[in-house]
Amino acid sequence: MTSNALILSGGGARAAYQVGVLQAVNELLPTSTHNPFEIICGTSAGAINALALATHTGHFYEALEDLSRLWSELRTDRVFKTSWRELIYGGGRLAMSLFNEGVGKHKSIALLDNDPLREFLSGFIDFSQVQKGIDAGDLKALCVTAMNYTSGESVSFFEGENSLEEWRRYRRTGVKAKLSLEHLMASSAIPGIFPATKVGSDYYGDGALRQVAPISPALHLGADRVFVIGVSGNRNPVHWAKRTMPAKHSPSVAQVMGHLFNSAFIDSLEGDIEHIERINQLLTLIPEEERERSSLPLRPVETLVISPSKELDKIAGRKIRHMPRSVRFFMRSTGATTKGGGAATTSYLLFEKPYIDELIELGYNDAMWEKDNIQAFFGV
C-alpha cells in the first residue's frame, strides 16, 4: 500500500498560500475523505499548518475548516509584539548584546518577541490529538523540523507508528518525540527575528536553516508519493529567463535579508525536488528486475508540486500599508518595500488579512488550475 506525504515548506506569512491549495484539494476529493496524507511534514510556518491538520485526522474538510479559521484569526499582533516600546526594546537588546558576547541572560536575543504567537497557538492546537490520529490509523507520522544551534544539525522530530525508526545522515537526523508547542515554536523561530527555543537541553531555530533535503524526512518515514506545496514561483522557467534591470542603488538591509530568507526557505526545497526528479529519470533507465536483484537503495518517488503563479514579493509590496504603523515604519526604514527592493522580507512578516486572503485565493486558484494532476495523484 502506498503512502502519501504532504510537504509544507516554511515561509512565515507566505504559508497562507498553502491553506488555499489545501482548500482546493478538499473540494476535489470526495466529501467522505478522511485524512488523504498518511505522513505530514512541516517546517517553520509550514509546521503550524502541519500540526493543525494532524490534530484533525477525521474528515479532511473538518481539518480544513479549523486551519482556515486559524489563519482568519491571525494578524501581526498575534504573532509578535508590535508596540513602539517593544520594537525599540528589541532593537536595544540586539545592540546591547554587543557588550555581553551576544548572549541573553533570561531569553534568547532577537529583534521581535513572539510570545503572542505562543499564546495563540497554545489555545488553538491540541497536541494530544496527534497520537489519537496515529492510534486510529488515520495518520502514520507527523514530522516537524528545526535546526539545532549547538550541533548545526537539521533535526526532524517525528511522532508516529511504533515501527518507525530514527535516522542519521550528514548534518541531519530524525528523532522520535512527543511533539509539543516547544517543537512548533522552535521550528518557526526565524534567526535574529524571533528568539531561539529550548527543546530538551539544546536551543533550536527555524527548521528551514541547514535543511538541505526537505523531502528526505517524508521518505525516511515511508512515503512513496509526495505532495509538495511551495511558497515561491521560481520553478517557472519563465522566471529563470527573466532579466533584471540594472541596480539603481546599493542593496537595502531588507533586500539583503530577503535574499537570505529566500535561500533558507525556498532554494533547498526546489533543489531537492530537482534532485528527486533526476533520480526518477535515472531509475527509468534501469530495469525493475535489475534494481531488485542489485538491492539498489533507491525507489521512484511520485511528486506533485504546487507553487505560486505570482510573485509574492509584489503582493506584499502592495499590502504593506495594512501592517501596524510601528512595524510599517521599521519595515520602510530598512527598505522592506518594492521601491527599496526588500519587499521579500515583508512577504514573510505580513500577517494581515488583506495579504493572507489574497495568498489563500491565489493558492486555491493555482491548485484548481492543476485540477487534473491533483485528481490523478489521488486516483479520483
The SS3 of residue 341 is coil
pLDDT at 207: 87
Q: Residue 9: is it exposed, middle or buried by C-beta count within 10 angstroms (0-12/13-18/19+)? A: buried
Chain centroid, CA 279 distance in Å: 24
Domain count, the chain: 1
**Can you read off the three cell numbers belonging to residue 74?**
491571525
Residue 99 has pLDDT above 90, yes or no: no
Q: Closest Cα partner for 156 from 2, 7, 273, 270?
A: 7
Distance CA 31, CA 380 (A): 12
- 152 lies in a domain? yes
Distance CA 129, CA 109 (A): 33
- 356 lies in a domain? no
The mean pLDDT of 146-164, rounded to a whole number, is 95
The SS3 of residue 311 is coil
The mean pLDDT of 243-258, rounded to a whole number, is 61
What is the rounded average pLDDT for all residues in the chain? Answer: 85
Confidence of residue 54 (pLDDT cuts 50, 70, 90): very high
pLDDT at 239: 46
- 77 lies in a domain? yes
Residue 238 has pLDDT above 70, yes or no: no
Confidence of residue 204 (pLDDT cuts 50, 70, 90): very high
Confidence of residue 164 (pLDDT cuts 50, 70, 90): very high
Residue 11 has pLDDT above 70, yes or no: yes
What whole-number percentage of the chain has pLDDT above 70?
82
- Strand bridging mode 302-306 / 225-229: parallel
- 204 lies in a domain? yes
- 332 lies in a domain? no
- 293 lies in a domain? yes
**Residue count of the chain:** 380
- Strand bridging mode 4-8 / 225-229: parallel
Distance CA 379, CA 34 (A): 15
Number of other residues whose CB lies within 10 A of the CB of residue 349: 24
pLDDT at 212: 80
The predicted-structure confidence for 66-94, as pLDDT tens digits, reads as follows 999 999 999 999 999 998 888 888 777 76
Confidence of residue 248 (pLDDT cuts 50, 70, 90): low
pLDDT at 98: 59
**Can you read off the three cell numbers belonging to residue 271?**
533543489
pLDDT at 241: 47
The mean pLDDT of 298-309, rounded to a whole number, is 87
Judge whether 168 and 216 are in contact, CB under 8 Å. no
pLDDT at 340: 63
Judge whether 313 and 344 are in contact, CB under 8 Å. yes
pLDDT at 244: 56
Judge whether 219 and 301 are in contact, CB under 8 Å. yes
The mean pLDDT of 185-194, rounded to a whole number, is 90
Domain range for 140? 4-235+257-311+361-378
Q: Closest Cα partner for 300 from 230, 226, 373, 228?
A: 226
- 79 lies in a domain? yes
CA distances from 81 to 97, 103, 118 (A): 20, 21, 11
User: In degrees, to the nearest 5, what angle opens at C-alpha 10 toward C-alphas 4 and 15?
Assistant: 85
What whole-number percentage of the chain has pLDDT above 90?
50
Look up the CATH number of the domain holding residue 63: 3.40.1090
**Can you read off the three cell numbers belonging to residue 55?**
490534530
Residue 357 has pLDDT above 60, yes or no: yes
Q: Closest Cα partner for 35 from 17, 62, 69?
A: 62
- 102 lies in a domain? yes
Residue 19 has pLDDT above 80, yes or no: yes
Distance CA 325, CA 11 (A): 23
The predicted-structure confidence for 21-53, as pLDDT tens digits, reads as follows 999 999 999 888 888 999 999 999 999 999 999
pLDDT at 240: 43
